[in-house]
Amino acid sequence: MPVPTQEQVIEFCHDNSVIDYLGIDIVPDDDGGVHLEIEVEEQHSNPYNILHGGVMTTMADTAMGAACLMRNKKVVTVSITLEFMHPVHLGSRIITDAKIINEGRHVMVCECELVDANKKIFAKAHAVFFAIAKFIDD
């Protein structure tokens, strides 16, 4: 089975125009995967001047999808839930840490934490994905 490269996954994620629109960075990990990062600016905030939950959901969904791509599976989201634990203030930098919990032939279960550089958890996501195709053909 072919193994996708970090560069292929990053390029694919940038095909998602909302990622570029929001200014989310896709960064290679030392372990061969990728994570997402964002510097929280005013356009990312809700009326309370904290990071909008929709931006956090988009980051978690994309990070978990990228983890599935690294396993050579293109996926669509079946369900996603987030628990928001702390507000993220303007000027903060948030980083995703996505993991695959269970990998079936068609169904993938993932988790993602949204943390700061000190590993403080601001939100935690859980999602189920359905594999629709291989990312890279044999």
Region 63-69: mean pLDDT is 96
The pLDDT of residue 138 is above 80: no
Nearest to 13 by CA among 27, 30, 32: 27
On whether residue 123 sits in a domain, the answer given is yes
pLDDT band at 117; cut points 50, 70, 90: very high
CA atoms within 13 A on the CB side of 130: 5
Q: Residue 54: inside a domain, yes or no?
A: yes
pLDDT at 132 exceeding the cut of 70: yes
End-to-end CA gap in the chain? 6
The CATH number assigned to the domain holding 80 equals 3.10.129.10
Domain span at residue 100? 6-134
Matching residue, tokens 């995703």: 96
Amino acid at 19: I
Q: Quick check: is 24 in a domain?
A: yes
Q: How many folded domains does the chain comprise?
A: 1
Q: State the chain's maximal CA–CA distance in angstroms.
A: 49
Could you tell me the pTM of the whole model? Answer: 0.95
Residue 1 included in any domain: no
- Is pLDDT of 2 > 90? no
Contact assessment for residue 133 and residue 74, using Cβ atoms and an 8 Å cutoff: yes
